[in-house]
Structure 1
Amino acid sequence: MKVYALLGVFLFFGCSIASAQDTTATQNSLRSGTITSQFEYIYRVSNNIREHEVVKKSHLEQLKANVLDSIRTRTKEITQLQTQIGSLNDSMTLVKQLLSTEVEQKNQAIASGDNFTFFGITIQKTVYSSLMWILVVVLAGALGFFAMQYFRSFGRIKKAEKDFLEVQEEFEQHRKNTLDRERKLKRELINAQMGKN
């Protein structure tokens, strides 16, 4: 009988240890791993009675708690991601507004760099440059025209001076001739008067 008692004690402790290992394995398997692996574990440890699975209620409750915890965690992650997406969208909107403002300021700076005020009138630099070149060409043309007129006048003046000198020379010559004739006539007159007296 002692053998039966001893055998009974060993069986009792063996079943307890097996049950404890099974519970520990169940808890370890239900407490870790993915939801899919937890479902597979429950499917493996379930009893099959005439094509109906018998599942321990504690396993289902643990699985339900794990699924709900996973859903809560995912919901929190989704909420955080949506918040981050919202803040990123706000940031992108702000950056787009700043970019459009900067682009507009750049365009205004370029436009103001291409324009300036001249006698109270806003003029583009290209128009101003064209007007200045036209003014330079007109002034150069006027300078050329007046230089040509000056040189023509200078030539005429030189010719007139030359003609004047020739006329003056002729006049001097004529005056000398006239003086000589006058002297001759006076001498003849004096001689004629002396010859009568």
Structure 2
Amino acid sequence: MTRKTILTVTSAMLFSTFSILAQESTEKELSLTEGTIDNQFEYIFEKANNYQDYKVVKRNWLLLLKKNTLDSVARLENELTTSEKLTGTQRAQIDSLNKELASTNVQLTEVTEQKDSISFFGALINKPTYKAIMWGIVAVLTLILAFFVYKFKNANAVTQEARKSLAELEEEYEEHRRKALEREQKARRQLQDEINKQKLTKTK
């Protein structure tokens, strides 16, 4: 064999090996019991039998896919409910902190108008020290408020994302279900037409 022939044969063997490995990898990734809903749909499309221009899908596959889709929808709804509850709780905490902060600011304003010596929890302290304490409390409340605002925004973002994912999943499920029903109806009509043709042929 010439060098060119050897290179050609070697290249063909490597290409075949890579193709087989890629196909095996794809088959391992696709499953009807694991992975995303989209992967499960791809699994059905690949594994379904071909009948002319149609795909014939096993009924138990469709039932399992329906169950998996409904489970995913239920899980997203639960996550959405949890996020909404968390958002409500954090909103109440933020409102409470806002009220406390407003009250502290009012007290601080009143303090600045009083004497240099102020009674604080039964002890007399000078005005600068009292101001430092009150401003420290304001700073702590501000930090706590900022933390809850941050958590609230994160929870709200999770809620919006969950709603979006739920809507997309429901839309995708309805579209695939509609197409699957159309393919099943077309396949049944085609099969009935073939049966009718066979009956006419036998009668003749």
TM-score normalized with structure 2 length: 0.41
Select the structure of larger CA radius of gyration.
1
TM-score of the aligned structures, taking structure 1 as reference length: 0.42
